[in-house]
Chains A and B, each alone.
Chain A
Amino acid sequence: MQATRDFSHYVRDIGSGVRHIDLAVEGVSCAGCMSKIERGLSAMPDVTLARVNLTDRRVVLEWKQGTLDPVSFIDRLAELGYKAYPFETAGAEAAEAKQSRFLLRCLGVAAFATMNVMMLSIPVWSGHAGDMIPEQRDFFHWLSALIALPAAAYAGQPFFRSAFAALRTRNVNMDVPISIGVMLALGMSVVETLNHAEHTYFDAAIMLLTFLLVGRYLDQSMRLKTRAVAGNLAALKAETATKFIGADEISEVPVEAIKTGDIVLLRPGERCAVDGTVIEGRSEIDQSLITGETLYAAAGHGTAIYAGSLNISGTLRVRVSAASEGTLLAEITRLLDNALQARSRYVRLADRASRLYAPVVHATALLTMLGWVLAGASWHDAIVTAVAVLIITCPCALGLAIPTVQTVAAGAMFRAGVLLNSGDSIERLAGVDHVIFDKTGTLTLPDLEVMNAADIPEDILRLAGRLALASHHPIAAAVARASNASSPLAGAVEEPGQGVRGLFDGVEVRLGRPSFCGAEQLAHDSLSLDQEASMVAFSMGEARYLFAVRQALRPDAGAMISALSKRHIAVEILSGDREPAVRAAASALGISEWRAGVTPADKIARIEDLKSRSFKVMMVGDGLNDAPSLAAAHVSMSPISAAHLSQATADLVFLGKPLAPVVAAIDFSRKALHLMRQNLWLAVGYNLLAVPIAISGVVTPLIAAAAMSGSSLLVMLNALRARRVAPGGA
């Protein structure tokens, strides 16, 4: 059986015989890489377009249909030194990209209108004292209306839509006072223009939209960047499955191209990329990514197998089933749905602020109007003054206060290795005072490691590694990784279930079960030292060595746990694994609160219990069994190696081996929340100064414009402080 790589799923025909493919590329970081890749690929015959996107780390390729195969591009890139993989824009990212373009278009229109209306307003402002005649002023006002009204109707869409959506569900968000302010300012200005009045507020209304769109766009583009990185990481995992395309013919296809009912082959050492049922073969599987259980489970005909399971010993044929068929998965989906419903009740800081803000502002405007009428002013003057109050309090700075901080903080977190899945996760993360860790894959690393590599002579380790390369067994792979061996030992033979043997300088070398290498006594002695490790022996002639292999704790786990307690955050472990394994990890990290053998429902129950005692719980987990509790917790985080469902459910995803991003994310979010609150108070304080002037009826459009840009700048500058946190937490 010979496998071929088939990427036709990703190739698009864009007409006239030209094919198109998008590739995610790893390690493109500079202009040098860009020109190297573009020249390297363009040199291939029939390639019509090769263009690198340095922001997204992607390559667009187009070529004339014919001899070229996508595989040849990937091989060519590998020759150039870049790992690449075909890429398909996921639904969420496409939506974000579309929204981002729409906001940029709105911003362009609003900025154009602002500049032109300002050009007309400045002569009006400065012309009062000079020689501007009323007809000219009216003419300028009409021109301003002509520009501002259509521009506001277009560029205001993001705010009007969101305000309408909120009002329809009987809610108030920040966009409601914004929309009311803009519409009233424009409406009153039209009436005033008709009445040949001195002041109109076209400039203030359209400038407000421009400022707010800047904030929205920055926020959106940060989110888009995060999605693009996450998309690349997912693509570069290069998840493929070996699919049967005939009775004995197999082809390696991307997971996206696998459909329900397909039959895939799962060889030893491979991670299953699909959900399904075993129809042929016997093996042991490692389900630690799904259940947290590190002991291998037996798999045979009829066993349900989930994406993320690692096949250990035998070859399996798996029939792919629809995602919700499995019983474990169905249970998890049900728990997840319940938990997600509960979470959507969280009210964002911005919305909480506007719930307080909107009634106060609108009541002040109403009282101003009534007050002036009672004081003997005409209805017209009273209404104009009331609208001026609304314009000057229109939450320009309030609308910027939170998105700008969010953008800067998200950028800082991005550099620290944390990707944000949901927009309000920063403010939820800031309040965390209790962190629950899953053990397997979260506190520990997902891959097996040789624990005692340092105790073994280097040449022996290297030789064992070369021998290990002959086997697909995950434990052998761990030995090979530890030794950095790259050339397999020639003539090595694998004995299934036992180990590998070969000849080195005429001496027989063996790697495998202690019994296979005649090292039972040595293994018996060492097992008492580390009960959780799997022992693998190596023999060369009469010499015997023993490797202890297991999932190691993340390198900085201990330091990060103590960093969390220094921040007065309680830590506990909830794991689906057996008690001895959890106890060992807990004592190594000095965590006194831990539970072992916990089911997904138990995890949720524990979280609900803590919530009812008004703890703000963060769940950090990676397994499929963690997905419901990730959704149930106040805020949640997953490593990038997590199961798909968990990664999609978590609010934040962290990259790399260390646990440090978890603590960094908490620090950045605390600082960010502090700045958001500060910004809100700055904006409110600004309004407190401006409102008396507006109530007294002396606000001119010039004062309104100055107040608005002044407060917006102040808030934006303050937001820049979210880039840094003090070492040791703020």
Chain B
Amino acid sequence: MEVLVILVPLALGLGLVGLLGFLWSLKSGQYDDLEGAAWRAIADDEPAREPPLD
């Protein structure tokens, strides 16, 4: 059971990192435009010309 000494702080630490990551992403405005973000993920970076209209 000595393994708890490592595992419990590790688990809490990971959780805390997740929380801090969330708070950072919130602060940097990543939840301001959820619809746009969904499209940006699949958009091409710098297309050479206008994409054809579908």
Query: Which A residues are closer than 8 A to B by beta carbons?
Result: 30-32, 34-36, 52-56, 101, 104-105, 108-109, 112, 115-116, 119, 136, 139, 143, 147
Is the CB–CB distance between A55 and B36 below 8 Å? yes
State A119–B22 Cα separation when bound (angstroms). Answer: 19
13 A-B pairs with C-beta separation under 8 A: A31-B43, A54-B33, A54-B39, A55-B32, A56-B32, A56-B33, A105-B23, A108-B19, A112-B16, A112-B18, A136-B1, A136-B4, A139-B4
State A119–B16 Cα separation when bound (angstroms). Answer: 14
State A342–B19 Cα separation when bound (angstroms). Answer: 45
In the complex, number of A-B residue pairs with CB atoms less than 8 Å apart = 56
Is the CB–CB distance between B33 and A143 below 8 Å? no
Does B8 make an interface contact (CB < 8 A)?
A: yes
List chain B residues, Cβ under 8 A from A143.
8, 12
How far in angstroms is the closest Cβ of chain B from A108? Answer: 5
Q: Is the interface of A mostly helix, strand, loop or mixed?
A: helix
State A327–B16 Cα separation when bound (angstroms). Answer: 61
- The residue of chain B having its C-beta at the shortest distance from the C-beta of A109 within the complex is B19
Is the CB–CB distance between B33 and A55 below 8 Å? yes
Is the CB–CB distance between B32 and A53 below 8 Å? yes
State A490–B3 Cα separation when bound (angstroms). Answer: 91
Known A34-B36, A104-B26, A116-B12; 15 more pairs at CB < 8 Å: A31-B39, A32-B51, A32-B53, A34-B40, A34-B43, A35-B43, A54-B35, A54-B39, A55-B33, A55-B35, A108-B22, A108-B26, A119-B11, A143-B8, A143-B12
Is the CB–CB distance between B19 and A34 below 8 Å? no
How far in angstroms is the closest Cβ of chain A from B19? Answer: 4
State A386–B22 Cα separation when bound (angstroms). Answer: 37
Is the CB–CB distance between A54 and B36 below 8 Å? yes
- The residue of chain A having its C-beta at the shortest distance from the C-beta of B18 within the complex is A112
Is the CB–CB distance between B15 and A116 below 8 Å? yes
List chain B residues, Cβ under 8 A from A139.
4
How far in angstroms is the closest Cβ of chain B from A459? Answer: 34
List chain A residues, Cβ under 8 A from B39.
30-31, 34, 54
State A136–B23 Cα separation when bound (angstroms). Answer: 32
- The residue of chain B having its C-beta at the shortest distance from the C-beta of A123 within the complex is B4
List chain B residues, Cβ under 8 A from A32.
51, 53
Is the CB–CB distance between B26 and A105 below 8 Å? yes
Is the CB–CB distance between B33 and A53 below 8 Å? yes
- The residue of chain A having its C-beta at the shortest distance from the C-beta of B12 within the complex is A116
Is the CB–CB distance between A116 and B33 below 8 Å? no
- The residue of chain A having its C-beta at the shortest distance from the C-beta of B44 within the complex is A35
State A172–B49 Cα separation when bound (angstroms). Answer: 62
Does B34 make an interface contact (CB < 8 A)?
A: yes
List chain B residues, Cβ under 8 A from A31.
39-40, 42-43
